[in-house]
Amino acid sequence: MSTSNSGLPDGTEDFVGVKAKELENLRSIFLNYFYKNNCELVIPSLIEFSEVIGGNANASLKDYAYSFSDENLKNISIRPDISQQIARIDLQQGTKNKKKYCYFGETLRKTKDSLTKSKIAYKTGVEIFGKISISDEIDLIKLMLLSLKKAGKYKLTISLGRTEPMAELLNGLSLSFNDNKLLKKIISSKSKTDLEEFFNSKGLNKKSLLEIKKLMAVNGKIECLKYLKKHKNKIFQDSARKIEKIIKNLPSSTDYHLDFSDFPGFDYHSGLVFSVHVFGFGFSIAKGGQYKSIQNNIVREAIGFDINVSSLTKLNQKI
């Protein structure tokens, strides 16, 4: 990472020699594999108007972006994320057909990455737009995991969940935006004490409290889906069935973990949510899920993932 005499701000670094070659090699491995799987390459602009960062679905992304004013006094931001740019580009194409894009590029965030300690990250990934089926979910996860296996001999574990059951319970509480956001944070922390205090302070239905507690307990292996499968609500049953199908189609040697209450990007994702970890390291190297791409009242279903390639270069030094 940068030092006081490097000429670089804190949280940035140069890639030189072997490190630069490794990064370029990973770029080739991922993109060539994505091309073979019929992905169309997209190279989005490094900057865009601040007002469109994150779109309608993920406006909080603006908080991570470095912004400035251009010569016309328009607010400009350096991209903190690429997947949302792909969503914008897809909508601008004006097609209703299914599209499958891939990308590789740099992002800049105000916060440092947990593993690399850098504010700059090289990301690669795939985004699919159109009517998303369970087959698309399975194919995308396979594409992500197999591309990682091509990049290195990593012992991978994928964490899987679906937002629909929890969203069904939370929608029934009719909370304000801020209370809903706070409750999601409490649920992700898995603190039953804080959950009970929240319900008591708001005078909420005790039956809903019990249901949320049961859903928080749905974590582990495939056996934990029993509660969902026996639930009277068809949304719960469908979520269990879809997750089972994905587990049965995971590439060999890939471990998995289920969690139906801790979702990164819960406000943004709707449906399947997942993240990938390497054995021995506490941070995810890839993540993704389903969402809705919205612009000018046009809605497109979408699913995608991004891989933190910068994290892989650090992992390769330690493995």
Residues 6+ apart with CB under 8 A from 63: 110
Strand partners, 113: none
pLDDT for position 183: 93
pLDDT for position 281: 81
* pLDDT tens per residue across all 319 residues of the chain: 555 557 888 888 888 999 899 999 999 999 999 999 999 999 999 999 988 886 655 667 788 889 989 888 889 999 999 988 998 899 888 888 999 999 999 999 998 887 778 899 999 999 999 999 999 999 999 999 999 999 988 899 999 999 999 999 999 999 998 999 899 989 988 999 999 999 999 999 899 999 999 999 999 999 999 999 999 999 999 999 999 999 999 998 899 999 999 876 556 788 999 999 998 887 899 999 999 887 777 889 999 999 999 999 888 776 6
8 A C-beta contact, residue 123 and residue 107: yes
8 A C-beta contact, residue 267 and residue 193: no
Name the residue among 315, 279, 255 with its Cα closest to residue 116. 315
pLDDT for position 105: 96
Q: Which amino acid is at 224?
A: C
pLDDT for position 265: 57
* DSSP codes of every residue in 110-165: SSPPTTT--SEEEEEEEEEESS--HHHHHHHHHHHHHHHHHH----EEEEEEESHH
- Residue 175, Cβ density class (10 Å: 0-12 exposed, 13-18 middle, ≥19 buried): middle
Burial 222-256 (b: 16+ CB within 10 A, else e): eebbebbeebeeeebbebbebbeebbeebeeebeb
8 A C-beta contact, residue 271 and residue 163: yes
pTM, 2 dp:
0.91
pLDDT for position 33: 98
Q: Which domains does the chain have, with CATH numbers?
A: 1-153+300-319 (3.30.930.10)
